Amino acid sequence: MNDPQSLAENRPSMLARLMAGIASHAPGVTAGPIDDEPTPDEPGHPEYHRRQRAEFALSRWTTAVPYRYRQATAQHPEILAWAERAADDYRSAGFLVLTGPIGTGKTHQAYGALRRIAEAGPKRFEMIATTAPDMYGLLRPGGSDKGTEHELKRLCKVPLLLLDDLGTEKLSEWTEEATTRLVNERYNECLPLIITTNFPVRAASGDPNPDLVTRLGARLASRLAQTATAVTLDGPDLRRGLRSVS
């Protein structure tokens, strides 16, 4: 036989009475959807994670950049467009060659392009920035404890590489071979390379001044011409202007 139950046990619960009261006072109201999607300031939102990647990338950029260029930004529209392509997919960006006389801001713009990539918050951000003379010094026998081949492979494989002042080094069969291996490897692997140089990629017909063709050879210049965004920066020497102001 079942245990006897009191009348109180058969009464509706307090929650049921409350819900019934609400339904009687607002018969046409139904529960709406709950917006539980994360906001841009919360984990799970794409913008939140892009900001996290950008913060990390900018810290790596700052570590790799000389103090003088810590405030560098790119302003040239073609350079900014190249940086946007590299941030979206660095293998589709190609090379960026900045040419022009001394003091026209090539190095500043180059570091600014790398900064713009970092600010975009790419999924991967690794960079090396060096000058051509420093690179050749590193690659010479005894230039690195890890050896020439290790250093060359590191330069060939890093996703983003800036080679500043190409063409200022003393030409030799060895520098030509090292440059050829570096450019060819990055060309074949579709890895971006930023080059700054005082020489045009190819001088105008009849111009006796040297260009990258004469400095690097026609084969390398052809690689640059095929895959590079070439931007010429001209104007007065900005360094002299800064000195005169100070």
Window from 9-18, 120-129, 138-147 with minimum mean pLDDT: 9-18
Name the band, by pLDDT with cuts 50, 70 and 90, for residue 31: low
pTM of the model: 0.78
Is pLDDT larger for residue 26 or for residue 40?
A: 40
Question: What pLDDT, on a 0 to 100 scale, did the predictor assign at position 149?
Answer: 93
CB atoms within 10 A of CB 231: 18
Strand pairing report for 95-99 and 228-232: parallel
Is pLDDT larger for residue 86 or for residue 205?
A: 86
Give tens-digit pLDDT for 95-127: 999 999 898 999 999 999 999 999 999 999 999
Q: Is the pLDDT of residue 240 over 60?
A: no
Give tens-digit pLDDT for 195-228: 999 887 776 666 667 777 777 777 777 777 777 8
CA 224 to chain centre: 20
Cα separation, 157 vs 182, in Å, equals 9
First-last CA distance in the chain: 104
Mean pLDDT over the full length of the chain? 84
